[in-house]
Structure 1
Amino acid sequence: MKTALTFTPLFLAIAATISPLAHAADAPPTDGFVEGSSLTINTRNYYMNRDRRDIHTDDSKEWGQGFLGIFESGYTQGTVGFGLDVHAMLGLKLDGGGGTDGSSILPYGSGNGKAPGSFSSGGGTLKMRAFDTELKAGDLFLNNPVIAGGMTRMLPETFRGVSLTNHSLDGWMFEGGQASFAKLYNQSGHGRIGTSYGALPKGQDSQHMNWAGVAWSGLPGLTSNLYASELKDVWNQYYYDLDYTYALNDLVSLNPGLHFYHTQETGNALLGDIDNNTYSLHFTVGVGNHAITAAYQRVNGNTPFDYIAQGDSVYLDNSQQYSDFNGPNERSWKLKYAYDFAGLGVPGLTSAVSYISGKTDLTKVDPNSRGYSAWYSADGKNAKHWERDIDLKYVVQGGKAKDLAVRLQWATNRGSNGYSAVDRDVDEYRVIVDYPINVF
């Protein structure tokens, strides 16, 4: 086992705000606790049909209706302001479930093998603001490269902990925090933070996750992020990205970029030895309403690139609708074509078509690995798989239904030479209807 790097991301994030705070002369203006408050409700209707072609299950369909209400207060007057955020979620089963799909839309079935007719959760967050620094404690909506709940299912994942953000310097954002529990997409209660691909030993969980990061956007078209995290007794993970968009003229733009993760085991190494470097590179050419993207992704290590369970903290170019193309030692490439139908007089209608191909050698995986032995395949010397995605979305631009969004997604994934053991042959269809309501 390698010696893990010792660091405390939350301490680093707090320390990073000390200098900016020393130069902040005045507290930012506030509208007041009541005057600055808002209430939004998002309704999401979600249908998924996941046809597992290799095992031919009878029922791999889930359909549900989700409601997410978020109240955010303003801040009390004064140099140090206080506030409160509250949210409530409700999921209703319309059809299917029972854990047969595993799509994270509905709760997995219990004794009778059926998903319940409804599930719900709620939470609150106390917040404090001084100058350009905000501290939150409670149930958090997080979205960064190392810990992200995201909105790829009917309801979002939330985390219970504390976070700190600072915006004192123009073009810079510093943040850090610690989370001990997560509420998964399709659950009412909270549990310890797990991982998406690793199998933690029964009865052994990571107690918390620390993270710290900085985001920079100081030049037009150029952005960069640097993050570090520790999933206690599992891994230390580091992330860096750089993205640049350059407009040649009013018609043509160029967009190169890169993403890089390094993951290494730490503490009790509950998932065993990890030494993984994963990166992706992309280059997009935009011409009017057309965009063509080429991307290359590489996983260096005998374990897959892993991230927290059910989350969206996988900021890699080849993370697709079904597969992340993140297998041990996997190399993958992607071609994507996107078109904005505003060019044909239909604003709000967008589309994208992608094809991704990956291959790896799964015989290099340690069959005795604590957390990733399922990836080993004696027949996986030249394991391959590919995915084809089609995405069509329309957002209503005006009228009483303004911001109503309808999204259709199709994905086809096929594996060979042992890859289907960990990434199944699947045809998947999704229909997602969102309607956000701004109450006040």
Structure 2
Amino acid sequence: MKTAHSLSPIFIALAATMSNAAQAADTPTGDGFIEGSSLRLNTRNYYMNRDRRDQHVDDSKEWGQGFIGLFESGYTPGVVGFGLDAHALLGLKLDGGGGTDGSSLLPVSDGSGKAPGSFSTAGGTLKLRALDSELKAGDLFLGNPVIAGGRTRMLPQTFRGFSLANHSVDGLLLEGGRASFTKLYNQSGHRRIGTAYGSLPDARESRHLDWLGASWSGTPGLTSNLYAATLKDIWNQYYYDLDYTWTLADGVSLNPGLHAYHTRDTGQALLGHIDNNTYSLHLTLGVGSHSLTAAYQRVNGNTPFDYINQGDSIFLDNSQQYSDFNGPGERSWKLKYAYDFAGLGLPGLTSAISYSRGTLDLSSADQGSRGYASWYSADGTHARHWERDLDIQYVVQDGRARDLALRLQWATNRGSGGYSAVDRDVDEYRVIVDYPVNIF
């Protein structure tokens, strides 16, 4: 296996912003460390029930209460402004354990078979702003296509490292960074960065992930992103998307879009040989409060499309509540209907229902892969699975309970043999209540 030699993306990003800094060294910055500060508290009550119907075991039922406190300071005055962000996360078990845990909402059970009664973490970020650039170092909330912290459970995932962002051109974001550790959404402490589907040998994980990206939103109706990342000794990953909303008439729009990833092994190739091209296409027709989406997704490669463990860095159309439809050689399609009840005089109430179906030919899957072989079954040369999803959400629009959000999610997944290690016959229900409070 050849080792790739390349500059770290963060140093490329630093070089790109240094020229901008040199051109505007006299520009002041800062809105006041205290004057520009804010403190927010979000309470999240989360119930999750996962019924593994093909395993004849007890349902995984977990219920918890999360508290997410976020402090963000302003910047000190001057050409270079300094600031500080801090957060505290607390998760409390309301129900779970004794044979009913395991949905991934709460920490992994200890030897007693019960999840702990609470888990928590806290962190801080030093930040520096000069001209149109911002440098952060410490505990980061990240959300780009190659490294996005998971936010689908009670508490968010964070990363420890540094990032640099530049906004010199209106509508253009340039960013880069390095993350060396992560705090998973159902854990208290930090660990090295792993992957969602790969099984690393001897419990080894990557020492860090470097990323560099550009995001364009300066053209009305058009957005586009280009990102590259290196997960040390595992993969180089590249991402591109293009999304355009075309207004056909008053209240009528057409929205085509493309998402594409290319992943190749690098360095010591801890997960073995990877050569994976994955893409999805979607077309959405919007008419008033209605929208109808058709999507197609394809994985070209003999390993699954993989991403950061517990993360949301899978910007693909057919990544659903339960299944990602990302098996080796998988083809999948989806139909989705969404309705905004504001059209009936009920603002804040939205709904969506979708049906997704995927087929796999595992005859070419890499059964000898040291990182992915455990996900396949020899009797599943031709595997199929489908998922039906229902999502209903209501957000209070005014009054003392303004921004209180209630979300109900239901997923049904059914699959044939061969890929059952990932996509079992499962019914999954989620009830999520969010209440954000702006303290100052």
**Alignment partner, residue 299 of structure 1:** 299
Aligned mates of 2:173, 2:98 — CA distance in 1: 43
Residues 1:338 and 2:363 are matched in the alignment? no
Aligned mates of 1:63, 1:88 — CA distance in 2: 20
CA apart distance, 1:364: 1.7
CA deviations on 1:245-273 (whole Å, 9 max, x unpaired) are 01112210010000000000000000000
**1:104-183 correspondence to structure 2 within 5 Å:** 104-183=104-183
Aligned mates of 1:189, 1:56 — CA distance in 2: 33
CA apart distance, 1:362: 1.7
Aligned mates of 2:305, 2:35 — CA distance in 1: 45
Amino acid across the alignment from 1:137: A
TM-score normalized by the length of structure 2: 0.97
CA deviations on 1:188-238 (whole Å, 9 max, x unpaired) are 000000000000111422111100100011210101000000000000000
Asked if the contact 1:46/1:430 (under 8 Å) is kept, the reply is: yes
Aligned mates of 2:420, 2:361 — CA distance in 1: 13
Aligned mates of 1:348, 1:284 — CA distance in 2: 21
CA deviations on 1:383-429 (whole Å, 9 max, x unpaired) are 00000000000000000000000000000000014222331110000
Asked if the contact 1:20/1:169 (under 8 Å) is kept, the reply is: no
Aligned mates of 2:355, 2:332 — CA distance in 1: 10
CA deviations on 1:65-113 (whole Å, 9 max, x unpaired) are 0000000011111000101001000000000146864332100111211
Aligned mates of 2:266, 2:98 — CA distance in 1: 36
CA apart distance, 1:19: 3.6
Residues 1:87 and 2:101 are matched in the alignment? no
Asked if the contact 2:2/2:267 (under 8 Å) is kept, the reply is: no
**Alignment partner, residue 419 of structure 1:** 419
Asked if the contact 1:216/1:224 (under 8 Å) is kept, the reply is: yes
Aligned mates of 1:18, 1:358 — CA distance in 2: 47
**Alignment partner, residue 240 of structure 1:** 240
Aligned-partner SS, 1:342: helix
CA apart distance, 1:29: 4.4
CA deviations on 1:32-62 (whole Å, 9 max, x unpaired) are 0011100000000000000001112214101
Asked if the contact 2:50/2:428 (under 8 Å) is kept, the reply is: yes
Asked if the contact 1:383/1:419 (under 8 Å) is kept, the reply is: yes
**Alignment partner, residue 62 of structure 2:** 62
**Alignment partner, residue 321 of structure 1:** 321
Amino acid across the alignment from 2:186: N
Aligned-partner SS, 1:339: strand
Distance change >3 Å, CA 169–CA 22, structure 1 → 2: farther
Aligned mates of 1:303, 1:4 — CA distance in 2: 20
**Alignment partner, residue 404 of structure 2:** 404
**Alignment partner, residue 276 of structure 1:** 276
Distance change >3 Å, CA 349–CA 125, structure 1 → 2: same
**Alignment partner, residue 286 of structure 1:** 286
Distance change >3 Å, CA 28–CA 143, structure 1 → 2: farther
Asked if the contact 1:21/1:168 (under 8 Å) is kept, the reply is: no
**Alignment partner, residue 48 of structure 2:** 48
Residues 1:225 and 2:225 are matched in the alignment? yes
Aligned-partner SS, 2:10: helix
Distance change >3 Å, CA 28–CA 217, structure 1 → 2: farther
Amino acid across the alignment from 1:207: R
Aligned mates of 2:242, 2:380 — CA distance in 1: 34
Bigger mean CA offset, 359-368 vs 381-390: 359-368
Asked if the contact 2:101/2:109 (under 8 Å) is kept, the reply is: no
Asked if the contact 1:200/1:270 (under 8 Å) is kept, the reply is: yes
TM-score normalized by the length of structure 1: 0.97
The sequence identity of aligned pairs, in percent, is 76
CA apart distance, 1:26: 5.0
Aligned mates of 1:320, 1:151 — CA distance in 2: 14
Asked if the contact 1:363/1:376 (under 8 Å) is kept, the reply is: no
CA apart distance, 1:9: 1.0
Aligned-partner SS, 1:399: coil
Aligned-partner SS, 2:328: coil
Asked if the contact 1:414/1:420 (under 8 Å) is kept, the reply is: no
Amino acid across the alignment from 2:31: D
CA apart distance, 1:28: 5.6
Aligned mates of 1:78, 1:102 — CA distance in 2: 51
**Alignment partner, residue 184 of structure 1:** 184
Aligned mates of 1:23, 1:109 — CA distance in 2: 55
Aligned-partner SS, 2:144: coil
**Alignment partner, residue 383 of structure 2:** 383
**Alignment partner, residue 73 of structure 1:** 73
Aligned mates of 1:99, 1:328 — CA distance in 2: 33
Amino acid across the alignment from 1:86: A
Asked if the contact 2:28/2:80 (under 8 Å) is kept, the reply is: no
CA apart distance, 1:2: 5.0
Amino acid across the alignment from 2:227: Y
CA apart distance, 1:361: 1.2
**Alignment partner, residue 308 of structure 1:** 308
Over the aligned positions, Cα root-mean-square deviation in angstroms equals: 1.4
Amino acid across the alignment from 1:186: N
Aligned mates of 1:308, 1:82 — CA distance in 2: 31
Asked if the contact 2:307/2:313 (under 8 Å) is kept, the reply is: yes
Aligned mates of 1:99, 1:321 — CA distance in 2: 23
CA apart distance, 1:31: 1.9
CA apart distance, 1:17: 1.7
Long gaps (5+) in structure 2: none
Aligned-partner SS, 1:179: strand
Amino acid across the alignment from 1:387: E
Long gaps (5+) in structure 1: none
The alignment covers a number of residue pairs equal to 440
Amino acid across the alignment from 1:51: D
